[in-house]
Amino acid sequence: MDLISQEHNIKNPNTTLTTQPSSSSSSPPSSSRYENQKRRDWNTFCQYLRNHRPPLSPPSCSGEHVLEFLRYLDQFGKTKVHHQNCSFFGLLNPPAPCPCPLRQAWSSLDALIGRLRAAYEENGGVPETSPFGSRSVRIFLREVREFQAKSRGVSYKKKRKTVNNKQITQSSSQPPLQPQPQQHQHGQSIMSNYN
């Protein structure tokens, strides 16, 4: 999946968090599809930060800046997400077109955050301070997943594991999470700009 580079083919090698070379720079560069996509995503995110007003650097960005970036990417989405008042809300295969917006699919956003989180750490970022692992980003992704599942009639169920000939879910030992909208400083839910 080529989420960002479809719209932007930005390459700038000067987007690292530190100026010191990392220990992995002595190994030969990997040219896997994942590594190439991760590099493109990182370069695009860094370009987004440079174009931000005021301009930001990766160490100075927060989870809120990551959320702004994800909302910006929504304009390039290809997944139909029905509004709650749409007659096709909850239908997996709607019988006709509707004016509901195209958005980035939850799975694309989740994979993007994973790649950016890895790139952040590879470029000298500390995992504990990564804006891609912030609580607000995790809550946003969970809310997007839940809303898109309802909107599109798709269930994102956990895969089952087989242990000693018994099927169990991966989260069977943990109580289910109760979704609670997080409030911004302006008193609105994180998802309010998404719906």
> Contact, 160 vs 166, CB < 8 A?
no
What is the percent of the chain with per-residue pLDDT over 90, rounded to a whole number? 48
Provide the pLDDT for residue 19: 33
What is the average per-residue pLDDT within 137-161?
82
- Sorted by where each begins, the domain ranges of the chain are 33-152
Q: What is the mean pLDDT of the chain?
A: 76
> What are 9-57's pLDDT values in tens digits?
444 444 445 433 444 445 555 579 999 999 999 999 999 999 999 999 9
What is the average per-residue pLDDT within 173-191?
44
> What are 54-98's pLDDT values in tens digits?
999 999 999 999 999 999 999 999 988 898 899 988 888 888 898
Residue 175 carries which DSSP code?
P
Q: What is the CATH number of domain 33-152?
A: 1.10.150
pTM of the model: 0.65
Provide the pLDDT for residue 189: 47
Residue 39's nearest CA partner among 76, 78, 2 is 2
Which tokens belong to 103?
């958005």
Phi, psi of 110 (to 5 degrees): -65, -45
Q: Answer whether residue 180 shows pLDDT above 70.
A: no
- The pLDDT confidence band at residue 190, using thresholds 50, 70 and 90, is very low
User: Within 10 Å of residue 29's Cβ, how many Cβ atoms?
Assistant: 9
Q: Answer whether residue 109 shows pLDDT above 60.
A: yes
Q: Which residues face 54 on adjacent strands?
A: none
Provide the pLDDT for residue 94: 85
CA dihedral (67, 69, 71, 77) positive or negative: negative
